[in-house]
Structure 1
Amino acid sequence: MTSQPPLAKVDTAPDGPAGPTPADGQGSDGLQAGLKNRHLSMIAIGGVIGAGLFVGSSAGIAAAGPAILVSYAIVGLMVVLVMRMLGEMAAARPSSGSFSAYADMALGRWAGFSIGWLYWFFWVVVLAVEATAGAVILNGWIPAVPQWGWALIVMVVLTGTNLASVASYGEFEFWFAGIKVVAIAAFVLIGVLAVFGVLPGSDNPGAGFANLTAHGGFLPNGAGSILTGVLMVVFSFMGSEIVTLAAGESANPQRAVRKATNSVIWRIAVFYLGSIFVVVALLPWDSESIVEDGSYVAALNSIGIPHAGQIMNVIVLTAVLSCLNSGLYTASRMAFSLGKRGDAPAAFARVNERGVPRAAILGSVVFGFAAVWFNYQWPETVFQFLLNSSGAVALFVWLVICFSQLRLRGVIARETPEKLVVRMWLFPYLTWVTIAGIVFVIGYMLFDEAGRTQMALSLLVAVLVVAVSLVKHRGARV
């Protein structure tokens, strides 16, 4: 192998290679080590269960039929490999900026700046999406409060918990994620029993594997529908990486990252593949109820679970609140890290006496409030642009993680080999295979009618951010 060129210099000690790692109960970069092991464990488990799994899977099933299982498996494998790479870097060099800081070290200041701000942009737009989704559910229960009022209440409450302390964020997320995990686990267990006809009192005939092939075959819409399904489900996996940001505010980040990385396989297998298998095995994939009621509600109705719609609304609301809570935390910590590296206002890098980056949180939530307002004022124009232009950020993040790991692996092995407690499998071959897979998905989106607009606008915004970064850092060197 050829020797690697030297890493780009990072002009900040806390997030750079020489910065201290959390130890003795202290968080990184002035943040407090307020997250307990149980918080991090549940953040890791719940991070891969977004509201998109509950509300977005029906469209994927309608597009690909039972073959949507292959779509989820492909994206799930991609996430497992990317998380393995990120876990390798995060265990060796915990940082509040996670992959943005690693891109800074490995690829240059422009890369850390660009991917950091794109990721921040993604999550503040998600804040608006989830606040609106939660408001719709709450307004259905208590219509006396208008939707915008519920969106405001939800945003204010979760902003307050994040401002209080990182421990309060962790506690809220522990219970939100816990409800999601229990609900999905119960759904899979009950569903599997019903699929094979051994659930007492089930209204479903229990067809076993028959529904996977009985209605036009396993690939009713052709092999190309698998790739269409990939495009539809890829963004529901965003969030797996949150634990690597949160680990910097724990007493033992290396242990937390190693545990999260090693468990990502079974988490995806059970929560995604397991639950989608239950849906397509219980019901014909072309059942109108899957689209009309939603895949999970339709599956519960087929079993005869009373009040399935309201039960699922409670679970979806919990998922929405969890995503909002984590989205605000994640956006603020990325803004904090960018501030530490001089790529965001200096105020973002300051913490209060409780170790909370108050300015970074408020700066993120202000944009989130603005996005909520756009959603109500101009849902088909301004807000749609925000959605489309942030939609492909997940793929950009994964690609940057891959290239960063390619460069940092050799440096870590050379300088601190004892910290390589998590290793990417078959390095560098699987890293290159993952890169090829992500590039293929990006290219396919550009040629797919449904994904072209989203990818084109996301690439446009990415190019603009990279251009700003190159100008900024070129000017800093003059």
Structure 2
Amino acid sequence: MQDPTDPSPSTKPKLQRHLKSRHLVFISLGGTIGTGLFLASGSSISQAGPGGALIAYGLIGIMVFFMMESLGEMATYLPISGSFNNYAGRFIEPALGFALGWNYFYNWSVTLAVELVAGGMVMEYWLPHVPNYVWSIIFLLFVMSLNVFSVKGYGEAEYWFAMIKVLVVLIFVLLGILVDTGVLGGVYIGLDTFRYGGIQAAGILPTFLTASFSFQGTELIGVAAGESENPSRNVPRAIKQVFWRILLFYILSMFIVGLIVPYDDPDLLKSSISDVSVSPFTLVFKKAGLDGAAHFMNAVILTTVLSAGNSGLYASSRTLFDLANERKAPHVFSKLTRFGVPIYCVLLTSAIGMLAFLTSLFGNGLWLVNISGVAGLIAWLGIAAAHWRFRLAYRAQNRREDELPFKARWFPFGPIFTFLVCLFVLVGQGYNSWFADPISASDIIACYIGIPVFFLFYFGYKLWKREGLFSAIIPLEEIDLDSGREEIIRHTMELDERKRLDPLEGVSILKPSTWKRIPRTLTSWRDATHN
């Protein structure tokens, strides 16, 4: 029964579809191009050699390609916010959707806390006497302001954050080529450094793990699809662009580093967000004669931290909103402002970000990473499994696959390959801890702590609903492939009609009516201030 205090479905606020194609592309780029590239890539080259690092990142990149293809097929067909848990709950079983949803929520909520702490550590480079918690408060208020008013504010912020990082990578590649050819730095290097490092076979497995964590964030397109302006067009376009750009940026950047910095350079092993002087990017910039490279990279890494915190707040709030709509979270979290923002979800995620203040009292706060270390991999496993079941249900219900808005290539190889690689990385992530001397039980537990947390949610839901272990798996013929489709079909028809009537619909220009509204708006602000 509908709550009599709630507005009717036709007047109830909804998530607003204001994210354009460029927003989706850069949201995913911004979630991936970060400290994994600017810092951790150095330790990857040091462990596996320049050739081994390229092999590891290339193979993991292929897995990410198939994962994105699977996600793209489902997110284009059913573009909803917080899609991962919803897909698993609809196409496999509700308990799995519940566990994946809460897993993804706490992953990004904790990521927000980690990034707030990291922001304080970055600012220590310039202002060492200001306490970390001051910067945590400032950065939390900043990312909250980007998320609390409208989704377009979040999308625009991510667009510019990611644009900065992309430009840095492009400048780095150009300068790296000039250094390698002797135009800058005065010494021709060629392929000598790359050949010297070669492939260090013993370090390739740990590099697989680093590469997997570095690519996490690409799946944010699935979260943002629910607020995409035209998901049937924008989501496939974004997925195609994002994969090749990320792979190009990572592979090309690491190739440049391998050409210039020897793999046994001791600085490459010291990847730390508190010391940007050891970033492989900084080392290459210095060889190009840019003495202020450390300050420049510190500013870039601060941008990366703010971008990750911004994405964390957005992803967590939308996932919690979807859980509330499915009645897997308290109903209050399904409330939206008139601007289409799940305000209580944003506030709860921000409150969890307050953990950053506590960690500033107990060191650098990196213990938070242990809580959500495997959550991204679990989300990818869920995407692969959900896509497998989605396509099987589509066939079982005698639907034509050529009618899918976007069709994943190489099915069923794609989801199977993604699932197996993710499982391999998930099990193997404790490799260094198992073979450490001496072995530390706490380090091993920290590597795998996310797995029991996931199963706690899974079996907790089953106990709550009094379900058997496999009794709730939905038969293929009964899987719901239609609920939610009517909204996107209607929205697409309305969008096409608006564009037919106004060819400039959606074009980013100021129309005459906008210019007329600016003086009126300024006058209103002036009157309100005087009153």
After TM superposition, is the score higher than 0.5? yes
Secondary structure, counterpart of 1:213 in structure 2 = helix
Residue of 166, 187, 192 corresponding to 2:151: 166
**1:53 lines up with 2:37 in the alignment:** yes
Secondary structure, counterpart of 2:336 in structure 1 = coil
Separation in 1 of the partners of 2:111 and 2:156?
A: 21
Residue-pair matches, total: 445
CA contact under 8 A between 2:282 and 2:293: conserved in structure 1? yes
Task: For 1:399, give the aligned amino acid.
Answer: L
Secondary structure, counterpart of 1:391 in structure 2 = coil
Secondary structure, counterpart of 2:449 in structure 1 = helix
The aligned residue for residue 240 of structure 1 is: 218
Instruction: Give the drift of 1:417.
Output: 4.1
Separation in 2 of the partners of 1:50 and 1:136?
A: 16
Separation in 1 of the partners of 2:231 and 2:178?
A: 39
Instruction: Give the drift of 1:259.
Output: 0.8
Deviations 1:114-169 (A, max 9, x none): 01111111111111221111112223323453211011110111112210111111
State the TM-score, normalized to the length of structure 2. 0.78
The aligned residue for residue 429 of structure 2 is: 445
Q: Which has the greater radius of gyration?
A: 2
Instruction: Give the drift of 1:80.
Output: 1.1
**1:374 lines up with 2:358 in the alignment:** yes
RMSD: 2.6
**1:328 lines up with 2:305 in the alignment:** no
Separation in 1 of the partners of 2:186 and 2:420?
A: 42
When residues 270 and 474 of structure 1 are mapped into structure 2, their CA distance, relative to the original with a 3 A threshold, is same
Structure 2 residues without counterparts, runs of 5 or longer: 3-8, 271-277, 435-442, 473-531
Separation in 2 of the partners of 1:64 and 1:190?
A: 24
Residue of 440, 443, 461 corresponding to 1:469: 461
Task: For 1:457, give the aligned amino acid.
Answer: I
The aligned residue for residue 280 of structure 1 is: 258
When residues 350 and 60 of structure 1 are mapped into structure 2, their CA distance, relative to the original with a 3 A threshold, is same
Residue of 261, 267, 271 corresponding to 1:289: 267
The aligned residue for residue 6 of structure 1 is: none
**1:39 lines up with 2:39 in the alignment:** no
Separation in 1 of the partners of 2:75 and 2:180?
A: 40
Residue of 416, 424, 428 corresponding to 2:408: 424
Task: For 1:177, give the aligned amino acid.
Answer: A
When residues 384 and 154 of structure 1 are mapped into structure 2, their CA distance, relative to the original with a 3 A threshold, is closer
CA contact under 8 A between 1:97 and 1:334: conserved in structure 2? yes
Task: For 1:469, give the aligned amino acid.
Answer: Y
CA contact under 8 A between 1:48 and 1:267: conserved in structure 2? no
Matches within 5 A, 1:89-168: 89-143=74-128, 145-168=130-153
Task: For 2:417, give the aligned amino acid.
Answer: V
Deviates more, 1:46-55 or 1:395-404: 46-55
State the TM-score, normalized to the length of structure 1. 0.87
The aligned residue for residue 7 of structure 1 is: none
The share of aligned pairs that are identical, in percent, is 34
Separation in 2 of the partners of 1:473 and 1:257?
A: 35
Separation in 1 of the partners of 2:121 and 2:31?
A: 23
Instruction: Give the drift of 1:291.
Output: 3.9
The aligned residue for residue 71 of structure 2 is: 86
Instruction: Give the drift of 1:378.
Output: 3.5
Secondary structure, counterpart of 1:352 in structure 2 = coil
The aligned residue for residue 73 of structure 1 is: 58
Deviations 1:249-290 (A, max 9, x none): 122012121012212332122211111111111111111233
Instruction: Give the drift of 1:71.
Output: 1.6
CA contact under 8 A between 1:161 and 1:169: conserved in structure 2? yes
Matches within 5 A, 1:344-423: 344-370=329-355, 372-379=356-363, 386-412=368-394, 414-415=398-399, 417=401, 419-423=403-407
Secondary structure, counterpart of 2:86 in structure 1 = helix
Deviates more, 1:311-320 or 1:42-51: 42-51
Deviations 1:185-209 (A, max 9, x none): 2212221333233xx4x11623222
Separation in 1 of the partners of 2:186 and 2:288?
A: 5
Task: For 1:219, give the aligned amino acid.
Answer: I
When residues 294 and 396 of structure 1 are mapped into structure 2, their CA distance, relative to the original with a 3 A threshold, is same
**1:205 lines up with 2:187 in the alignment:** yes
Instruction: Give the drift of 1:411.
Output: 3.1
When residues 130 and 353 of structure 1 are mapped into structure 2, their CA distance, relative to the original with a 3 A threshold, is same
The aligned residue for residue 435 of structure 1 is: 419
CA contact under 8 A between 1:47 and 1:243: conserved in structure 2? no
Deviations 1:42-63 (A, max 9, x none): 2233332123321222222222
Instruction: Give the drift of 1:427.
Output: 1.0
Secondary structure, counterpart of 1:377 in structure 2 = coil
